[in-house]
Amino acid sequence: MKQASPQIQLPRGCQARYERHSISIRERLGIPLTAHCPACAVAELYGITVTSNASLIDFARQGICDEFPDHEIVCQRLAWAYDVSCSFSALLIVCNVGKMPLRMILHNDQHSPARRESNLMHELAHFLCGHPGNALEFSSGIGFRQYNRRYELEAERLGATLQVPGDGLFQLARAGRTNEEIAEIYQASTQMVNFRRNILGIDRRLSYLRR
């Protein structure tokens, strides 16, 4: 659930708030702006469990195989979870049961490391923005978000900021690091670095400094 519609506009000052949030999280974790901030570390900071779809399917397979002796058919039916072309990226699940709410991000571990980091940061951004889970409402308090273009744009921008902070990106670009080098530092895709450079006007700022 990414790449929200460009027709949605966020209020003025949102990006600055996202940058401050990213800085605050890194300060709490003791990670500088010019280094990789693991999404799993951010999740742990907020008590969110990160689980891969493969792990979940492995667990399901064990239970299903106990009931269905034809293990080959079971594996075939569950093979979609390991398909790298599967459209599923990640999902934030919040389940309020008793006094200890369950917070979990289920993600597709068949994606590349850079995309996995982006997927996780995107879902963490939904949590940090306080987006409601309102597609399913049960007495147990289980919720899955309905698609909301504004929520997706907010998560896209904050998630990208968590992965590639503006001040850190500017410092690295000013030091002459290439997009490929910066992407490797942040364990991000070059497309993500390009996106951040463009939206923050990094090259325009560097050009101004050279004058």
Mean pLDDT by 10 residues, the chain (211 residues): 59 90 97 97 94 68 57 61 63 70 80 92 92 46 59 93 97 96 97 96 89 75
Residues with Cβ within 8 Å of 34's Cβ and at least 6 positions away in sequence, in order, are 168, 171, 172, 185
What is residue 86's predicted lDDT score, i.e. its pLDDT? 59
Q: Which amino acid is at 52?
A: S
CA atoms within 13 A on the CB side of 72: 0
The reported pLDDT for the residue numbered 200 is 94
Q: Spell out the alpha helix ranges (H) of the chain.
A: 14-29, 39-45, 53-67, 71-78, 113-128, 149-163, 166-174, 179-186, 190-200, 202-210
pLDDT on residue 132: 73
Please tell me whether residue 211 adopts helix, strand or coil conformation.
coil
* Per-residue pLDDT at 74: 58
> Residue 24's pLDDT is what?
97
Q: Report the pLDDT value the prediction gives residue 124, as an integer from 0 to 100.
A: 94
Could you write out the DSSP letters of every residue in 112-162? -HHHHHHHHHHHHHHHHTT----S---TT-EE-PPP-HHHHHHHHHHHHHH
Q: Which two tokens stand for residue 21?
A: 């949030």
Per-residue model confidence (pLDDT) at position 131: 81
User: What does the buried/exposed string (b/e) look like for 120-154 if buried means 16 or more CB atoms within 10 Å of the residue's CB?
Assistant: bbbbbbbbbbebebeeeeeeeebbebeebeebbbb
